[in-house]
Amino acid sequence: MTPRIAVVGSVNLDLVARVERLPRPGETLSGASFARFPGGKGANQAVAAARLGADVTFVGCVGDDPFAAEALQNLRELDLRVTVADAPTGVAVILVDASGENVIVVAPGANHELRPGTFDLPEADAYLCQLEIPVDTVRHVERTGNGLFCLNAAPAPEGDVPIADVTIVNELELERLGHRQNLVAVTLGAEGAFLLRDGGEIARARPPRVEAVDGTAAGDAFCACLVVSLLEQREPEECLRRACAAGALAASRHGAQPSLPTADEVEAILLDA
């Protein structure tokens, strides 16, 4: 049966400059290339889950401005429940160096207007949220959703966030969250990831070797693939291995949503590993 996932989260337009190296504080670099891509952690994870074979509903908020249509262009084939706010569409300004390392600044705009009461939560097998939307909205999804509640606790949280059935974090985010129960996936970048259940490690995986060019949506690909794989009732180690492969594939391509792999691509790179 096809997994049904409702992603409640952010949608941005990514403004990406590629440079040989990242500038130091106060330094101006010239010679960059520039591109615009649909992005936002919520939208990225929705597109990723759909490419991996899930039936996806996306809930988000944009502004009444020219950026909105661009930011939503890859979501048109999904079940969209997008409201329009009296605020600009979210924007992420991203610098990417020659090794694929990046720095990101987000102006959330309309994403902060995605509030409880502004949307109807669909029926789903799993609900996936991130922290680029108000925490009150995340809590609303946790309380009212009738499926598995999954939280990518990024950007690194300030203050308390809901305890999810599945939490996905990097090492910095894990430090800020402190002790968590249930299932926690911790990403380690090029070193892979590990899974904790009730605080004890149950699985660890490394990604296939790739040439990294842009890590912008690698974490989003990981999150979506982990949730889809769990809903497909795969074993924890296989879920983690597939998620690492999805993240590696995304890091080997430019842009956020253009980099997100399909299920067939994940299977292929795992067979070659």
Q: Which residues are catalytic?
A: 220
**What HEC string does the chain produce?**
CCCEEEEECCCEEEEEEECCCCCCCCCCCCCCEEEEEEECHHHHHHHHHHHCCCEEEEEEEEECCHHHHHHHHHHCCCEEEEEEECCCCEEEEEEECCCCCEEEEEECHHHHHCCCCCCCCCCCCEEEEECCCCHHHHHHHHHHCCCEEEEECCCCCCCCCCCCCEEEEEHHHHHHHCCCCCEEEEECHHHCEEEEECCEEEEEECCCCCCCCCCCCHHHHHHHHHHHHHHCCCCHHHHHHHHHHHHHHHHCCCCCHHHCCCHHHHHHHHHHC
Between CA 263 and CA 84 the distance in angstroms is 32
Residue with tokens 């992603």: 7
